[in-house]
Amino acid sequence: MERFALKIEYHGAPFAGWQRQPDRPTVQGAIEAALGRIEPGPHLIAAAGRTDAGVHAWGQVAHCDLHKEWTPFRLMGAINHHLKPAPIAIVDCARVDSDWHARFTALERRYVYRMLMRRAPATHEAGLVWQVPENQDVDAMRAGAARLIGHHDFTTFRSTICQSASPVKTLDAIEIEDLVVRGGREVRFHIRARSFLHNQVRSIVGTLERVGRGGWGPDDVTRALEARDRAACGTVAPPHGLYLSEVIYPEPPFG
């Protein structure tokens, strides 16, 4: 039996998230079904992170174990063939050691959140960005984001159904990119940490949007963090602006 790492891209709109669920379409379920068509199963794959319903990925990573002899190139093509027409693609594939694990070997997860600021409705980007009113104060959002960097109790910024044993996490970076796009601006939040709580990124972005529109100042972000109370959080940003962009490993599995 050989283990393969899969780098996966998907549009999250049709799915009830990454994790397999009975009678609901999921990304994990679709990939496991595709594997079952190329080699008898059952197949149980493990991923670097569980994205929620509606969340997208540019660089999700999972691993699978197979009995047949495959080259990574042929395996990638075979899985993609059987994934059609689902909006999921294996964009890279590599053979890895038997003890390599997509989740437990990972050092860092990186997410991008896309916020579109323009008056006209989104067309090409509909369902791929969170559209907000124009003239958000990006510098104020950056100042608010700085209050969240480091090792903190993030109870305020996690879902009430979060299953993590502890709300204490280390947030490595929040970089906010301000881009000029057709008819407006796109703000991209680049957020990095070893691991995240359930809804943590969307809770942070929703809170920073409140700062950007002037409802809060950076000091209010600090007060919300220190409250350790979910009720102190700003609006949770919608899932369709969020992307799992990259997973970092001690030795990159892909060329």
Q: Which residues are marked as active site?
A: 52
Amino acid at 57: A
Residue 210 Cα to chain centre, angstroms: 21
Cα radius of gyration (the chain): 19
Q: Are 188 and 125 in contact (CB under 8 A)?
A: no
Contacts of 231 (CB under 8 A, 6+ apart): none
Q: Are 159 and 199 in contact (CB under 8 A)?
A: yes
Contacts 24+ apart (CB under 8 A), 152-155: 152/225, 153/225, 153/228, 154/197, 154/200, 154/225, 155/228, 155/229, 155/230
Which of 86, 85, 79 minimizes the C-alpha distance to 11?
86
Output phi, psi for 75, to 5 deg: -65, -45
Q: Are 226 and 93 in contact (CB under 8 A)?
A: no
How far is 18 from 115, CA to CA, in rounded Å? 22
